């Protein structure tokens, strides 16, 4: 339990962690290249990357990835290609209730030997690695991009490569582009035909290489949120690039609508609060779903009505984030609505605040961090603040270090 109150003058240089999205991808690619992990610099120090690194280093019979959804999906695909090895991959109770059948069925169609150990369609999984045939497959474009990235990363190892057709609307496109861009860094050529939505990855070999992981734009979003709510001040963040493979870099322009300007430097960025906000905000988060919580909370605290779209994937994240946002914001005094599937809206409707305001985190790191700026306006108590260890373990230390 963490009590936050009287937060003011949040500013100066704040420490960021490296991107876990990039870290977990390059760890898989480095393993596929049979590279030494010492070639990878500035890997994220967080739960999700720690379990990935341990799994790939130890390759034990039973691999417990805890609550790391990225690791579950990426390792399921990777282990399927490890010829002659058998592994059982499991996780927390929440992980055992996160569906994975779509990925498993596609991998089986490519020749993978995967069986469910407990409940059909859910982890834990027993995986017998083998040489997979590959070929042409289809997958819905509106599923988690981690399924698609998992398939793309093992594609070069398949005997026939992979021709992956994305059906319907493609969500989280930047994460797919990130995967393909990083694969190129490790020597893999791919071709995405935008007209047919077919991604073609021929059979080829990964090449191990040194790689420095960029810092995390998702983590940066919470410092943008603090400045926006505070309405004044300046924050310096290092290790971020304007030309980034991370889709969440979009926040650098989105937050200008909420009164925060971004200046790029050789070392990173400087954020300056202008206090100049739009009267209302409308945006499709289909390509930045992890940023939805940040903007929902920020807009409420700033009194800015909003209508956000493209939030379908929020229900299958660490928790049902749609439900969690509606429930916890009501405690702060804001009534947000879900007008349609995958949408959230606030028309300015308020209700009586809980006293004291106690925020539940639902085993979700982003719930904890996106609600932290509430403490600029009102005293709050955050249950299980330790959940930030999933992606940003130094968050509270960095926040409270004045």
Are 371 and 396 a contacting pair, CB within 8 Å? no
Q: Helices (DSSP H) in 304-349: which residue ranges?
A: 321-332
* CATH architecture for the domain at 20-212: Alpha-beta prism (3.65)
Task: Let me know if 47 is a catalytic residue.
Answer: no
Please pick, among 47, 48, 248, 290, the residue that the annotation labels catalytic.
290
Residues facing residue 116 across a β-bridge: 125
Are 22 and 246 a contacting pair, CB within 8 Å? yes
What is the pTM for the complete model shown?
A: 0.87
Q: How far apart are CA 294 and CA 301, in angstroms?
A: 11
Strand-strand pairing, 380-382 and 357-359: parallel
Residue 240's φ and ψ, nearest 5 degrees, are -115, 145
Q: How many of the other CB atoms lie within 10 Å of CB of 41?
A: 10
Radius of gyration in angstroms for the set of CA atoms belonging to the chain, rounded to a whole number: 21
- The pLDDT tens digits along the chain (402 residues) read 899 987 878 999 999 999 999 999 999 999 999 999 999 999 999 888 999 999 999 999 999 999 888 899 999 999 999 999 999 999 999 899 988 999 999 999 999 999 999 999 999 999 999 999 999 999 988 888 899 999 999 999 999 999 999 998 887 788 999 999 999 999 999 999 989 999 999 999 999 999 999 999 999 999 999 999 999 999 999 999 998 989 899 999 999 999 999 999 999 999 999 989 999 999 998 888 889 989 999 999 999 999 999 887 766 666 688 888 999 999 999 999 988 888 899 999 999 999 999 999 988 899 899 999 999 999 999 999 999 998 899 999 999 885
Q: What is the pLDDT of residues 319-349, one digit of tens each?
A: 688 888 999 999 999 999 988 888 899 999 9
Half-sphere exposure of 251 (CA within 13 A, CB side): 28
Tokens of 270: 């400087």
* Per-residue buried b or exposed e for 129-152, using 16+ beta carbons within 10 Å of the residue's own CB: beebebeeeebebbbbbbbbbbbb
Q: How far apart are CA 1 and CA 113, in angstroms?
A: 44
Identical topology for domains 2-17+215-400 and 20-212: yes
Q: Sketch the domain layout of the chain as residue ranges.
A: 2-17+215-400, 20-212
Q: Which fold has domain 2-17+215-400?
A: UDP-n-acetylglucosamine1-carboxyvinyl-transferase; Chain (3.65.10)
Q: What is the pLDDT of residues 221-239, one digit of tens each?
A: 999 999 999 999 999 999 9
């Amino acid at each position: 339990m963490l009590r936050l109150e009287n937060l003011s003058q949040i500013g100066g240089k704040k420490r960021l962690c490296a991107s876990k999205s990039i870290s977990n991808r390059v760890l898989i690619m480095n393993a596929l290249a049979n590279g030494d992990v010492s070639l990878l610099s500035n890997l994220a120090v967080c739960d999700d990357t720690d379990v990935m690194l341990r799994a790939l280093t130890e390759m034990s019979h039973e691999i417990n990835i805890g609550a790391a959804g990225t690791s579950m999906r990426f390792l399921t695909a990777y282990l399927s290609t490890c010829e002659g090895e058998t592994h059982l991959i499991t996780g927390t109770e929440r992980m055992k209730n996160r569906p994975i059948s779509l990925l498993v069925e596609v991998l089986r169609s490519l020749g993978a030997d995967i069986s469910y150990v407990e409940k059909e369609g859910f982890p834990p999984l027993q995986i017998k690695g083998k040489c997979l045939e590959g070929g042409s497959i289809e997958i819905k474009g509106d599923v988690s991009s981690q399924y698609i990235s998992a398939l793309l990363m093992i594609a070069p190892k398949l005997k026939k490569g992979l021709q992956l057709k994305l059906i319907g609307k493609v969500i989280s496109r930047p994460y797919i582009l990130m995967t393909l861009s990083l694969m190129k860094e490790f020597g893999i050529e791919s071709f995405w035909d935008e007209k047919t939505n077919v991604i073609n990855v021929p059979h080829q070999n990964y090449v191990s290489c040194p790689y420095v992981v960029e810092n995390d734009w998702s983590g940066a979003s919470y410092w943008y949120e603090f400045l926006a709510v505070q309405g004044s001040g300046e924050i310096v963040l290092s290790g971020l690039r304007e030309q980034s493979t991370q889709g969440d870099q979009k926040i650098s322009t989105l937050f200008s609508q909420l009164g925060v300007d971004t200046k790029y430097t050789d070392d990173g960025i400087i954020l300056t609060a202008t206090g100049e906000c739009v009267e209302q905000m409308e945006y499709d988060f289909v390509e930045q779903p992890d940023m939805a919580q940040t903007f929902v909370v920020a807009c409420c605290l700033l009194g800015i009505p909003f209508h956000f779209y493209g939030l379908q994937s929020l229900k299958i994240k660490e928790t049902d984030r749609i439900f969690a946002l509606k429930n916890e914001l009501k405690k702060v005094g804001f009534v947000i609505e879900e007008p349609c599937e995958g949408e959230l809206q606030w028309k300015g409707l308020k209700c009586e605040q809980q006293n004291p305001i106690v925020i539940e985190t639902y085993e979700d790191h982003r719930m904890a961090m996106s609600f932290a700026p509430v403490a600029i306006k009102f005293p709050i108590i955050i249950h299980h603040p330790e959940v930030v260890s999933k992606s940003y373990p130094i968050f509270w230390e960095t926040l409270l270090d004045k």
